[in-house]
A and B are shown apart, each in its own frame.
Chain A
Amino acid sequence: MTDTTAAKEYRYITKKRRVTEDRRFITGRGNFAADYNLPGMLHVAMVTSPYACAEIKGINAEAALALPGVRYVLTGAELFENINPLLSGLDLPNIKRIPLAHERARYAGEWVAAVVAESRHIAEDAVELVEVDYNPIDFVIDPEEAMQPEAPLVHPQHGSNILCDKSWVWGDVDGDFDAAPHSLAFRARWSRCSTIPIETFVVTAKWDEGKELLDVWASIQMPKYPEQIARALSLPVNAINVHFDVDVGGSYGLKRGIRQTVIVSYLTRKLRAPVRFNEDRLENMSGGEMHGPDRIFDMEVAFDDEGIMHSLKIKATDDAGCYPGRAPLQLGKPVSAIVGPYRIKSASYNAISVTTNKTSQEAVRGFGQAPTNFAIEAMVDKVARKLGMDRDEVRRRNMIRADEFPYRIPSGSEYDSGDYHTVLDKLQTSAGWQELLTKRDAIRAEGKLAGVGISTCLEPSGGNSSFEPFFNPKNDTTTWMESCLIKVDMLGSITALMGTSTSGQGHESLLSVVIGEILERDPDTIRGVHAESLGALPSNSPVGSRMAIMLGGAAAGAAEKIKKQLLEIAAHNFQLPVDRLIYDGGDISVEGDPDKVMNWHLLIDIAHRQYHKMPLGSEPGLQAQHTWEVPTGGALPAEDGTVQMYPCYAFEAHIPLIAIDPDTGQVEILDYHMGHDCGTVLNPDIVRGMSLGGIAHGIGAALYEKFEYDEGGQHLSGSFMDYLLPSSHEIPHVEMVKHYTPSPLTTFGQKGSGESGYLGAPAAIASAVNDALAPLGKSIDTLPMRVRDIEALLNGQTE
């Protein structure tokens, strides 16, 4: 297959371009939430629960309030009386969530009261003076224990610790298992970890008495954020103005901050002063509720002598932590790629979400897909090992072929396009697969352990909301639009508005390059703007690997409308039909008569100033908006339990070479190669950065990162001393090879890449570790594979 991008030449997209946003970051001029200092601003610090579970019998704030500079102490009880509970992803009417613990603290580190003072320092002084009368009660930390009948209930009024337990069978799973000569079963464990950004969550709110308007500056990445604030505070949405031009210091799905926002929004109205809550790292790690999936996979696969996989059973038990939030829905996205890139004809899925006395889960990059990919890939490796086949060969035999697209998987999602075999071929060639195996064997000959890993994974992208009705039939949301408004001003410069903030994805660059491509204008002259929510069109924020597809599509749609208006103006003035005109770089000439030209500035001048030259009845000025629904979206799940989730499916393959010190368990990554196909690439630097950063996240999840709890329910990973983020020493140089299979569903054939790297790296590292352990007849299926875990597996039995 040829490089498909070569087939179509673009002016600006696909080409190397500097990222517009970078300029402000390299000069120290970013506008992060903590950079907004408002006069008279008050600061919040949190009183946190020292217990895994405790009744709150009383809170005495007298001493705290007596400290000079302290303005208020807000409790859960007060909030409970004055706001509406926060939205949950599931239909759980008996679990009411308010932003501070009310009556009961349900995990160690949960925020129990918010102290407001003139400085953060004073607020922290006062936190030490707040006396909370706790009555510690039984708690449960392990999700499987939590499902036992005698387990303490995290939410007694819910009657169970199971938040949801749903099963689907797609195809003749039992028949396929009966017919297959082989099957194997195993358990894989993805431990609680997260994509922890370097910036914590920060929010400042200011109630403007004169305008009766709540201004919010936040490091936010949350769909329907103004609407959620409005519902909690019983305000109309048009009384809330979210400043989406705040730069977000990393999010990767996490920065949902609705609790934090409701607290400061309530306080600013109550105290009539701007209020900021700038989570410190300790508040962030334990009470910020930014932990990711915490999942046990019980996997079964049926396969034949040739290594063909026929059917698959997945039971995923996920520890959501103490409140449901959106965590249970992270069991949903994997339904859209439940068989991975493989031609497996039937599958069953049992998704169980359990509540425990840990901090709550939040959406993390990939929304549950990275853990699932890890489990599926471990399964493929085990099939290969059982049959004595090569791992790459088993993948080749099972992967969907390029000529089979669009391909409908058993769970009902249709994969748009792909060429998995070519990507894997390209990668193995560029990585030097045989040479890597030779290198591995040479290291083994020196007495070390060494392994080559492989993973071939999908990134469902272009996020829609169909997992919501899929998990909660009372939720009939099928719309998950994105919008763009383009204005061409009187002097001819172009401004494009979006209704969301950025956390490093380069949306301003995206708007300018897409609009530049359609209107054939230099993207460097086009300004992308993160509009305030009051001035913005509907957006669902940069979640679900969707902005290249959705914001790109909305911008392209709006730009096409601008172009159409320009052509109509020219047609009117030339007194010719539009199809006789040629649009070139913003100028419009007459076909066959190149001297007859109306240039960009002339056309725009007409639009803005010369109504007498405009087509009769047309709208003056030059502006257009486009709001786009997710392609293939818009439908509820079918009654047979199938569902079309994400529209576009990017593919990635990873090959690392690692060595393990058999005496210490230390893993060293010696080589790392990735093959990637996300369709047409709009900005190569941005896509490459996403993939490289995703690999780093994946290596962290595979080897280092875990939120650990002890038997007393205490969180042990509450700082960067204890939760280990990989540094430049741990993350290797990565060689990338690209392939471009366009999506038929999107403007330019682009697919998502915001979760790339992360979706295949953990699986690949696990594969490499297990390849290293294989000669010893050992294996490990729990992430992270820490030095102590590996060493104990090798040497621990003698203890």
Chain B
Amino acid sequence: MKAANFDYVRVASINEACQALADGGEDARIIAGGQTMIPLMAMRLARPSLLIDINDVSELAGITVAGDHLIIRAGTRQADTLASEVVKSQLPLLADALSHVGHTQTRNRGTIGGSLVNADPSAEIPLIAQTLDATIVAQSTRGQRTIAAGDFFDSAMATTLAPDECLVEARFPIWPSENTGFGFHEVSIRNSDYALAAAAAQTTLDENGNCLRLSIAICGASPAPLRLINVEQALTGSELSDNMIKAACANIDDLIDPQSDVHADAAYRGRVAKVVAARAIGDARDRAKGILV
């Protein structure tokens, strides 16, 4: 399990990275944490011709708040994000989901941007980006552009990022904290495996406890993380009773497209997706009401 040969360059700035990508051709790849890329290279399932190491690019690390958005630079380590107080207070859904991502050791290297670009259909960080309508910022020698999460995730392990583009940051909307709660549920075989199915929800309730706003997305049951728009529509304005949630989440067969693999068949994933979706919404509601901490 040794990687095929490749060239390597370490860059110090985003511009250098973009230039190297532009010069390196189609098989050049950015590497940051490498926690997914390197195993694929070891199995020779990935064989980039050039690795562009962005670990020294200090402008690619950091978490800031700008207005009603929390901005996570692409090279920010998952561990640093998980430990961030501002993430815990402003984006608790992401903090909760991050504790399910890999292990301490992989989180110490793995980055937020790396996970987004990898776009594993079972991965938690893309799920949260999708749930919260994050905006992805990409840069190339051609300039910078923003991509809505809904347009970013294309299919399993594929995004709409162009080959010469470097992901720069993800902007997560911060919801007003009053009467807002989140829920995250994941079913995996072992504690830290990729999700067989996972769901993330965030809701804001009105003064009567009815649902003012709801975002719910699932992963593991479709080629890319999937917003359950019809569930959101069905439940917005409702009192979010357990029965209503369950009924709404039972009605997603037309949206999902679960796949079978060695770990679970499509039927299992489909059924469990509904379960985690309902649980995530229920927890979001309870947190919004302050019942669940």
Contact = CB atoms under 8 A, between A and B. Distances in A.
Q: Do chains A and B touch in the complex (CB under 8 A)?
A: yes
Interface of A: 120-121, 124-125, 128, 280-282, 663-666, 704, 708, 716-717, 719, 721-722, 724, 726-727, 729-730, 786-788, 791-792, 795-796, 799
Nearest to B267: A799
A796 B1 contact: no
A495 to B, nearest CB: 41
B272 to A, nearest CB: 5
Interface in B135-183: none
Given A666-B187, A716-B262, A726-B190, A787 B196 contact: yes
B192 A792 contact: no
Given A124-B1, A791-B268, 10 more contacts: A120-B2, A124-B44, A280-B1, A721-B39, A724-B193, A726-B190, A786-B189, A791-B272, A792-B267, A792-B268
B192 A664 contact: no
Contacts of B4: 125
22 contacts: A121-B2, A125-B4, A280-B1, A663-B272, A665-B268, A704-B190, A716-B262, A717-B262, A722-B263, A724-B190, A727-B191, A727-B192, A729-B192, A730-B190, A787-B268, A788-B264, A788-B268, A791-B268, A791-B272, A792-B267, A795-B271, A799-B271
Contacts of A727: 190-192
A378 B243 CA distance: 39
A787 B264 contact: yes
A120 B42 CA distance: 12
B43 interface: yes
Contact of B265 (A721, A729, A788): A788
A791 B271 contact: yes
Nearest to B5: A125
Nearest to A728: B191
Contacts of B265: 788
Contacts of A128: 44
Interface in B221-251: none
A551 B198 CA distance: 52
Query: In the complex, which of the residues B5, B190, B262 has the most CB atoms of chain A within 10 Å of its own CB atom?
Result: B262
Nearest to B193: A724
A704 B276 CA distance: 21
Contacts of A795: 271
Nearest to A727: B190
Question: How would you classify the secondary structure of chain A's contact residues: helix, strand, loop or mixed?
Answer: loop
* In the complex, the 3 A-B pairs of residues with the closest C-beta atoms, listed nearest first: A729-B191, A716-B262, A280-B1
B275 interface: yes
Nearest to B269: A788
Contacts of A786: 189
A664 B272 contact: yes
B250 to A, nearest CB: 11
Query: In the complex, which of the residues B190, B267, B268 has the most CB atoms of chain A within 10 Å of its own CB atom?
Result: B268
Question: How would you classify the secondary structure of chain B's contact residues: helix, strand, loop or mixed?
Answer: loop
Contacts of A788: 196, 263-265, 268
Contacts of B196: 787-788
Interface of B: 1-2, 4-5, 39, 43-44, 187, 189-193, 196, 262-265, 267-268, 271-272, 275-276
A791 B4 CA distance: 42
B47 to A, nearest CB: 10
A704 B267 contact: no
Contacts of A791: 268, 271-272
B1 A708 contact: no
Contacts of B44: 124, 128
A717 B5 CA distance: 27
B262 A708 contact: yes
Contact of B275 (A282, A663, A716): A663
Contacts of A125: 4-5
B66 to A, nearest CB: 37
B190 A729 contact: yes
A124 B5 CA distance: 11
Nearest to A706: B262
A788 B276 CA distance: 15
Contacts of B267: 792, 796, 799
Contacts of B189: 704, 724, 786-787
A153 B133 CA distance: 57
A788 to B, nearest CB: 4
Contact of B2 (A124, A717, A787): A124
Contact of A787 (B39, B43, B187, B262): B187
A722 B275 contact: no
A722 B190 contact: no
A666 B196 CA distance: 11
B260 to A, nearest CB: 10
Contacts of B275: 663-664
Nearest to B270: A799
Query: In the complex, which of the residues B2, B39, B44 has the most CB atoms of chain A within 10 Å of its own CB atom?
Result: B2
Contacts of A717: 262
Contacts of B264: 787-788
A282 B1 contact: yes
Contacts of A799: 267, 271
A666 B1 CA distance: 33
A629 to B, nearest CB: 45
Query: In the complex, which of the residues A664, A719, A722 has the most CB atoms of chain B within 10 Å of its own CB atom?
Result: A664
A724 B194 CA distance: 12
Nearest to A124: B2
Given A788-B265, A795-B271, A282 B187 contact: no
A786 B262 CA distance: 11
B104 to A, nearest CB: 12
A799 B79 CA distance: 40
A779 B2 CA distance: 45
A716 B262 CA distance: 7
Nearest to A664: B187
A664 B270 CA distance: 11
Contacts of A792: 267-268
Nearest to A703: B189
Nearest to A666: B187
A511 B192 CA distance: 41
Contacts of A704: 189-190
